[in-house]
């Protein structure tokens, strides 16, 4: 039975993962904008080949069960509409009557797909390796503070609250999803400053409240009780000329406590499992013998069934640190064209140890178990996985009626 435990431990480490694309501040993101409607189109693409484990180490996606080179490919199209104005201008409502307000809506279209051997491994568990379609909708409203000047420095603050509406495409049998299936509420304080008319500084602190997800996807590898998050972002931009800017930014996010997994069901679709099947699903022609052929041919372990205990389990929480660099072209005051590269510089992903019952017949569970085996599992989706791979962002902003 010791040999059987070794086989099970090695065959159950699912490694499909998706990490959220983090929203980071841009040039003059929190400055007081002229009143009017703005439209924005942002395209983001990434090829995730590495993720962070619970110890903060970068690991290749799918290792050691698939060879290096496969990835999780993702692309997002963000369609944003922003209104700036003052609906209280001709009233006597204190504070609001002499400060502009703003509201923004963000719609999402997305594509995500595990490639090659990672996709094949996901199918062993009876799940789809990717997804595409409509994402969740983000709505936010806020109020600007007054602009202040002190010598060559001018600055303002703002307050806003974002609500994420979970309307996106979501499938519990998918390893990756465009939607998240839970509500999120994010109060946010932010500020903008300009020094000498050349150096632009934007920053924000936001606290993210996440509701629960009572229908986890990919066999429960998305958390059911999602931790809240702290978010801190800073961006520094330099104005070279009337039209050209460059910026560098830093983003930090960290969960407050742990994510919890209460409905774990991920398991091999075809059972019972033979020792040879275990060898095929782990060694996978890597050129490295994870399990010896003698172990696979051992008649003492003819066939067996596996069944996960549903939980509860918890991870160590997640953390992500990101550096960004971008270049902007501003046409008059009506249009902005921007390209940005983001590079993760540290993180920690969701990972937990699950218990599986090993049985010689069905139904398989604690009452029919001849042994148990512990398996290291990686969480998936934006609440549990943290990418260690860069992404590219292209952005176009337009003011319909420029002042």
Of 349 and 289, more confident:
349
Q: Which of 148-162, 189-203, 296-310 has the lowest mean pLDDT?
A: 296-310
pLDDT at 175 over 90: no
Q: What is the pLDDT of residue 277?
A: 60
CA atoms of 358 and 375, how far apart (whole Å)? 12
What span, in angstroms and rounded, lies between the C-alpha atoms of 8 and 61? Answer: 20
The pLDDT value given to residue 156 = 96
Average pLDDT over residues 20-44: 83
State how far Cα 289 lies from the chain centre: 34
* pLDDT value at 316 more than 80: yes
Q: 15 or 330, which is more confident?
A: 330
> Which has the higher per-residue pLDDT, 31 or 403?
31
Beta-carbon contacts of residue 319 (< 8 Å; ≥ 6 apart): 56, 252, 253, 254, 255, 346, 347, 348, 386
For residue 12, pLDDT over 50 is answered with no
Residue 105 above 70 pLDDT? Answer: yes
Contacts of 150 (CB under 8 A, 6+ apart): none
The first and second tokens of residue 30, run together, are: 């929190």
pLDDT for the residue numbered 349: 92
The tokens describing 134, both together, are 């409509």
- 3-state SS class at 40: strand
Token reading at 226 = 């999602």
Average pLDDT over the chain reads 85
What's the pLDDT score for residue 299?
A: 55
Residue 27 has pLDDT above 90, yes or no: no
> Taking CA 144 as the corner, what is the angle to CA 209 and CA 94, rounded to the nearest 5 degrees?
105
Confidence class of residue 17 from pLDDT cuts 50, 70 and 90?
Answer: very low
Query: Measured in Å, how far apart are the chain's first and last C-alpha atoms?
Result: 77
Of the listed ranges 115-119, 258-262, 315-319, 384-388, the one predicted with least confidence: 115-119
pLDDT at 391 over 50: yes
Max avg pLDDT among 172-176, 200-204, 352-356: 200-204
pLDDT at 278: 55
DSSP 252-283: EEEEES--EE-------SS-SBPHHHHHHHHT
Would you state the pLDDT for residue 254? 94
Res 83: pLDDT: 93
pLDDT tens, residue by residue, 281-294: 554 544 444 445 56
> To 5 degrees, how large is the angle CA 124–CA 182–CA 191?
120
Of the candidate ranges 10-19, 85-94, 369-378, the one whose mean pLDDT is the lowest: 10-19
Q: How confident is the model at residue 166 (pLDDT cuts 50, 70, 90)?
A: very high
**pLDDT value of residue 44:** 92
Q: Name the residue among 379, 345, 259 with its Cα closest to residue 17.
A: 379
pLDDT in the model for residue 55: 92
Residues contacting 19, CB < 8 A, separation 6+? 48, 51, 320, 349, 382, 385, 386, 387
| pLDDT single digits (tens) 177-230 | 999 999 999 999 999 999 998 999 999 999 999 999 999 999 999 999 999 999
Where does the pLDDT of residue 94 fall: very low under 50, low under 70, confident under 90, or very high at 90 and above?
confident
Domains of the chain: 2-399 (2.40.160.40)
Confidence of residue 118 (pLDDT cuts 50, 70, 90): confident
Q: Which of 289-303, 325-339, 382-396 has the lowest mean pLDDT?
A: 289-303
Q: Which helix (H) or strand (E) holds 338?
A: strand 335-348
d(CA 276, CA 267): 17
Percent of the chain scoring above 70 in pLDDT: 86
pLDDT value at position 23? 64
């Amino acid at each position: 039975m010791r040999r059987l435990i070794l086989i099970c431990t090695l065959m159950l480490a699912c490694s499909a993962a998706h990490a959220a694309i983090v929203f980071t501040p841009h040039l003059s993101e929190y400055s007081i904008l002229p009143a009017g409607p703005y439209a924005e189109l942002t395209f983001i693409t990434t090829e995730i080949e590495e993720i962070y484990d619970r110890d903060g180490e970068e690991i290749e996606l799918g290792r050691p069960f698939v060879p290096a080179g496969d990835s999780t490919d993702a692309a997002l199209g963000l369609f944003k509409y922003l209104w700036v104005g003052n609906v209280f201008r001709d009233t006597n409502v204190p504070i609001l009557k002499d400060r502009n307000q703003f509201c923004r809506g963000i719609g999402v279209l997305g594509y995500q797909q595990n490639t090659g051997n990672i996709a094949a491994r996901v199918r062993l568990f009876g799940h789809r390796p990717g997804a595409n379609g409509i994402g969740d909708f983000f709505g936010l409203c806020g109020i600007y503070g007054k602009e202040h000047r002190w010598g060559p420095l001018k600055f303002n603050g703002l307050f806003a609250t974002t609500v994420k509406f979970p309307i996106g495409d979501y499938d519990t049998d998918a390893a990756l999803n465009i939607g998240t299936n839970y509500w999120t509420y994010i109060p946010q304080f932010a500020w903008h400053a300009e020094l000498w008319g050349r150096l632009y500084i934007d920053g924000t602190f936001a606290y993210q409240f996440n509701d629960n997800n009572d229908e986890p996807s990919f066999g429960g590898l998305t958390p059911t009780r999602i931790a809240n998050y702290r978010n801190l972002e800073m961006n520094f931009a330099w104005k070279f000329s009337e039209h050209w800017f460059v910026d560098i930014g830093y983003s930090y996010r960290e969960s407050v406590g742990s994510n919890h997994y209460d409905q774990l069901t991920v398991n091999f679709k075809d059972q019972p499992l033979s020792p040879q099947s275990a060898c095929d699903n782990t060694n996978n022609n890597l050129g490295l013998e994870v399990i010896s052929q003698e172990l696979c041919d051992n008649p003492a372990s003819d066939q067996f069934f596996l069944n996960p205990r549903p939980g509860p389990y918890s991870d160590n929480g997640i953390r992500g640190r990101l550096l960004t660099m971008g270049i902007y072209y501003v046409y008059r005051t009506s249009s902005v064209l921007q390209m940005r590269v983001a590079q993760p510089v540290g993180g920690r992903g969701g990972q937990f140890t699950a218990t599986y019952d090993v049985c010689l017949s069905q139904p398989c569970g604690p009452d029919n178990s001849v042994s148990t085996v512990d398996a290291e599992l990686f969480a998936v989706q934006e609440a549990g996985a943290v990418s260690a791979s860069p992404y590219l962002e292209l952005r176009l902003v337009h003011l319909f009626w420029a002042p």
